[in-house]
Amino acid sequence: MRPSAPAQSGMPGPKTYIGWWGDMGSLPQKGIKTYGVSPYRQRAMAGALNGYIFNGFSRLMNHLPYVAPPALFFYGVYYWSKSKYEYFNSKQGHYDNLIKEGVIKPGQYERPTVEPLAH
């Protein structure tokens, strides 16, 4: 039985046409230069904080007219709906809803009063 190709994952033997990585069997190239920068000389985040301090605030202020009105509108919708939800799930909301639906008549029952809890 012959071993599979992954089991023989070493360098190719002499019968292969294409060579190992970087040695593809062609003539050596001339005139191609490669340059590299040491990782100690690279500064990927150079000036990022400085650029934000001076330019970021002005960018935020330029986008504020486009962001603030929808944000304030939806916060108002959230506040209104939350207060309505709390009212509809309170004793007073249930009582008023029963009157509105005609289940009870106004004055038929004593109107509920909610007293604050003593701490």
Q: What pLDDT, in 10s, does the model give residues 75-119?
A: 999 999 999 999 999 988 998 898 899 888 887 777 667 777 776
pLDDT at 52: 81
What is the number of H-type helices and E-type strands within the chain? 3, 0
DSSP state of 33: -
Token reading at 55: 């330019």
Q: In angstroms, what CA-CA distances link 52 with 28, 37, 58?
A: 47, 26, 9
Burial of 99 (0-12, 13-18, 19+ CB in 10 A): middle
Taking residues 55-79, report their average pLDDT: 94
Maximum average pLDDT range among 1-15, 19-33, 52-66, 98-112: 52-66
- Residue ranges per structural domain of the chain: 73-107
Name the residue type at position 50.
Answer: N
pTM: predicted TM-score of the whole model, two decimal places: 0.47
Token reading at 6: 């992954």
